[in-house]
Amino acid sequence: MKILVISDIHANLTAFKTVLEHAKKQWDYVWCLGDVVGYGPDPNECVDLLRSMPHLCLAGNHDWAALNRLDIRTFNPDARKAVQWTQETLRADVVAYLEALPTTFVIENYTLAHGSPREPVWEYILEPLVAGLNFSHFATDYCLVGHTHQPIIYEQIGEEEATAFPPKYDRPIKLNGHRQIINPGSVGQPRDANPKAAYAILDLENATFEHRRIPYDIEAVQERMRAHDMPERLIVRLEHGW
Closer CB to Zn ion, 35 or 123, in the complex: 35
| Min CB(159)–Zn ion separation in Å | 30
35 forms part of the interface with Zn ion (CB under 5 A): yes
Length of the chain as a residue count: 242
Q: Which range in 33-41, 99-107, 158-166, 226-234 contacts Zn ion by CB under 5 A?
A: 33-41
The 189-218 contact track toward Zn ion, x by CB under 5 A, reads ------------------------------
| Min CB(65)–Zn ion separation in Å | 10
| Rounded CA separation 111/178 (Å) | 15
Instruction: Spell 164-195 as b/e; 16+ CB within 10 A means b.
Output: eeebeeeebbebeeebbbbbbbbbbbbbbebb
> Which of 5, 6, 8, 185 contacts Zn ion by CB under 5 A?
8
Residue nearest to Zn ion (CB): 35
Q: How far is CA 164 from CA 71, 75, 153, in A?
A: 33, 29, 6
Closer CB to Zn ion, 18 or 148, in the complex: 148
Segments in the chain forming alpha helices (H): 13-23, 43-51, 61-66, 77-89, 92-99, 128-134, 218-227, 232-240
Q: Give how far the C-alpha of residue 180 lies from the chain's centroid of Cα atoms, to the nearest Å.
A: 17
State the distance between the two ends of the chain, measured CA to CA, in whole angstroms.
33
Q: How far is CA 37 from CA 11, 131, 159, 170, 171, in A?
A: 5, 26, 35, 27, 29
Q: Which range in 7-15, 166-174, 215-223, 230-238 contacts Zn ion by CB under 5 A?
A: 7-15
Q: Which range in 2-10, 83-91, 92-100, 218-226 contacts Zn ion by CB under 5 A?
A: 2-10
Closer CB to Zn ion, 134 or 150, in the complex: 150
63 forms part of the interface with Zn ion (CB under 5 A): no
Please count the residues of this chain forming the interface with Zn ion, following the rule CB under 5 A. 2
Closer CB to Zn ion, 37 or 175, in the complex: 37
123 forms part of the interface with Zn ion (CB under 5 A): no
User: Applying CB under 5 A, which residues contact Zn ion?
Assistant: 8, 35
